[in-house]
């Protein structure tokens, strides 16, 4: 204990001024020892038991895990390690479930993308096929419509072209 220059504990009253009072103060001896205060557990206080019977409070306390299924208080400090392990397992299960849902969503998106690619490929093949068919039909129509050789360019060395050349130059 820190004492100041007058032999007093700071922030306490000064020693008694009367001789008899001072003698009584100096003769005062306490045999008490420093001991820790007992730990107060409100869940097990008999004077608070009426709170745990209230249905609204009982439901809240059971939801929070302070009361067991029978309505009896649970010592949370004694079960802290078990609760921590359970909490970790629940968070791990939640993470696993989230990953599973994300994987399922990614797989669904991949299947959707592949279906769209397949549809686009089929559509493209149909367009190419219809374009080929229309060009082929135009070529056939053009070849069926004029069978004369007059629309074709002259081929060098053919007998008709030689006769014309001879008539022209000769």
Residue 96 has pLDDT above 70, yes or no: yes
Please indicate, yes or no, if residue 146 is contained in any of the structural domains. Answer: no
User: What pLDDT is recorded for position 118?
Assistant: 97
- CA atoms of 26 and 145, how far apart (whole Å): 140
18-59: pLDDT as tens digits: 999 888 888 888 888 888 888 888 888 889 888 878 899 889
Please indicate, yes or no, if residue 1 is contained in any of the structural domains. Answer: no
- The per-residue pLDDT of the chain, averaged, comes to 82
118 membership: H or E segment, kind and range = helix 80-145
Domain enclosing residue 53, as ranges:
45-74
- CA atoms of 170 and 161, how far apart (whole Å): 14
Query: What's the mean pLDDT in 140-165?
Result: 63
Please indicate, yes or no, if residue 59 is contained in any of the structural domains. Answer: yes
Please indicate, yes or no, if residue 33 is contained in any of the structural domains. Answer: no
Q: For the chain, what is the domain count?
A: 1
- CA atoms of 98 and 130, how far apart (whole Å): 48
């Amino acid at each position: 204990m820190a004492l100041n220059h007058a032999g007093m504990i700071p922030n306490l009253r000064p020693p008694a001024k009367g001789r008899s009072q001072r003698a009584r103060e100096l003769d005062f001896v306490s045999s008490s020892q420093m001991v820790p205060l007992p730990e107060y557990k409100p869940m097990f206080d008999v004077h608070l038991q009426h709170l745990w019977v209230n249905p609204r409070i009982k439901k809240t306390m059971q939801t929070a895990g302070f009361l067991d299924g029978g309505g009896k208080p649970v010592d949370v400090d004694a079960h802290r390690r078990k609760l921590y392990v359970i909490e970790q397992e629940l968070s791990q299960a939640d993470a696993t479930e989230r990953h599973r849902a994300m994987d399922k969503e990614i797989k669904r998106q991949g299947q959707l993308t592949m279906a769209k690619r397949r549809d686009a490929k089929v559509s493209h093949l149909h367009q190419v096929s219809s374009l080929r068919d229309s060009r082929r039909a135009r070529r056939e129509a053009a070849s069926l419509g004029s069978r004369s050789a007059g629309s074709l360019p002259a081929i060098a060395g053919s007998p008709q072209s030689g006769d014309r050349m001879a008539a022209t130059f000769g």
